Amino acid sequence: MESQLKMSESGGPIVLLAIRAGIGGVLMGLANLVPGISGGTMLLAAGVYTNFINAIAEITTFKFRLRSILVLVTIVVAAGLAILLLAGTIKELVVHHRWVMYSIFIGLTLGGVPIVWHMIGRQTNTMWIGATIGFIAMGALACFQQQQMGADAGPSSGLFMLFLAGVAGASAMILPGVSGGYLLLVLGQYVPILSAIDTLKEALRAGDTGAAFEVTLHVCVPVGLGVVLGVVGVSNLLRMCLKRYEKATLGILLGLLLGAVVGLWPFQRGVAPKAGDVIKGRTVTAERLEDIDSEDFPVEFFSPTMGQAGGAIGLIVLGFAVTLGISRVGRAE
């Protein structure tokens, strides 16, 4: 594993590097919108993962080189554009076709398991201990989120939670196989953040600077600060942990992936609230029922039909194959 993450520079003309970084950035942006896909895996697929990690390491130690700056700027801009343009579409699919999207997310998540398993190589006791810790932590987080859905359909989106969501999302840019989008999902910030991004896009399109400024100040800034801190912190922490505790660290990553599936049971659906329900900390009145967006509906589990169960299995297999296929392409780096 350590050899796969060594901070070696890949050669090649700088124009080719910029093209690969642009492709990797778009893929990473899409990965951050889709729970289950790892942005780190997408950068591996584009062949710029080591360049990205190396660039972060250099710039955070105040070493500024053209190649490093080019890689970071290109990836960040490309990822940002992908997120801005496609956030609304992905959000609508999750809200209105939840079991379909969650089935795909499960497959995409499980597709990261062979990636991390390949990195582990020889299994050790410390690896299994780390995997157990990671699985329990992620499973507990998923169960907590499910309890919150039952108690209050509207997840809190205060400044601290948005900042924490940014830190969590940043992990997907660093850790191959770990999905930041999934962490946003279990933190209850996935739909609110995608909704805010879509609102920002519409405000910019309409020339409404007031609305754009409000969304930027209350959502984009705290999330952005969390992303910056997360990228810098996680990248340096990962380097240190892999150097000192390689097997345990990889075991934790494996456990996180397996535990992530706990919170992605696909057969969930939004149900229209009733008067007296609590949405985002406020009691719903009969007058407000028609004003509540479908993305804020309470979520309940349901028993699938045979067709839905079979379709879910097929979508899980498809998602698994997509992530595994992309990871195999990335090994050519």
Range of lowest pLDDT (65-69, 185-189, 206-210, 233-237): 185-189
Residues 6+ apart with CB under 8 A from 11: none
Answer yes or no: is pLDDT of 282 > 70: no
> DSSP 3-state assignment of 64?
coil
| 189 lies in some domain | yes
Q: What is the pLDDT of residue 315?
A: 95
> Is the pLDDT assigned to residue 65 strictly greater than 60?
yes
Mean pLDDT on 266-292: 73
Q: What torsion do the CA atoms of 211, 183, 179, 163 make, to the nearest 10 degrees?
A: 50
Phi/psi at 282 (5° precision)? -120, 140
CA dist., res. 160 & res. 154, Å (int): 16
Q: What is the pLDDT of residue 157?
A: 58
With a cut of 90, say whether residue 244 has pLDDT above it.
Answer: no
Which of 19-33, 66-80, 134-148 reaches the highest mean pLDDT? 66-80
Mean pLDDT value across the chain: 78
Assess whether pLDDT exceeds 50 at residue 3. no
Least confident among 5-14, 84-93, 105-114, 131-140: 5-14
Q: Which residue has the higher pLDDT, 205 or 169?
A: 205
Handedness of CA 264, 266, 267, 268 (dihedral sign): positive
Comparing 14-23, 40-49, 266-275, the range with the smallest average pLDDT is: 40-49
Please report the pLDDT score of residue 9 as a whole number. 44
Domain that holds residue 38: 8-330
Structural domain contains residue 29: yes
Name the least confident of 60-69, 75-84, 299-308.
60-69
Cβ atoms of 279 and 66 closer than 8 Å = no
CB 182 within 8 A of CB 110: no
DSSP state of 264: G
The pLDDT of residue 78 is above 90: yes
Identify the burial level of 112 via C-beta atoms within 10 angstroms of its C-beta, where 0-12 means exposed, 13-18 middle and 19 or more buried: buried
- What 3-state class would DSSP assign to 199? helix
- Between residues 227 and 154, which one has the greater pLDDT? 227
**pTM, to two decimals:** 0.67
Contact 176, 44 (CB under 8 A): yes
Q: Is the pLDDT of residue 14 over 90?
A: no
Which residues sit opposite 282 in a β-bridge? 279
In tens, the pLDDT along 215-235 reads 888 888 888 898 888 888 887
Number of domains the chain is built from: 1
Token pair in block for residue 251:
């075991």
pLDDT of residue 228: 85
Whether 48 has a pLDDT exceeding 60, the answer reads yes
How far from each other are the two terminal CA atoms of the chain, in whole angstroms? Answer: 14
Instruction: Please indicate, yes or no, if residue 1 is contained in any of the structural domains.
Output: no
Helix (H, G, I), strand (E, B) or coil at 186: helix
- pLDDT at residue number 165: 83
Q: Per-residue pLDDT for 209 more than 70?
A: yes
Structure tokens at 304: 């699938």
The β-bridge partners of 300 are 269
pLDDT of residue 1: 45
DSSP code, position 178: -
Q: 316 or 176, which is more confident?
A: 316
In a domain, 238, yes or no: yes
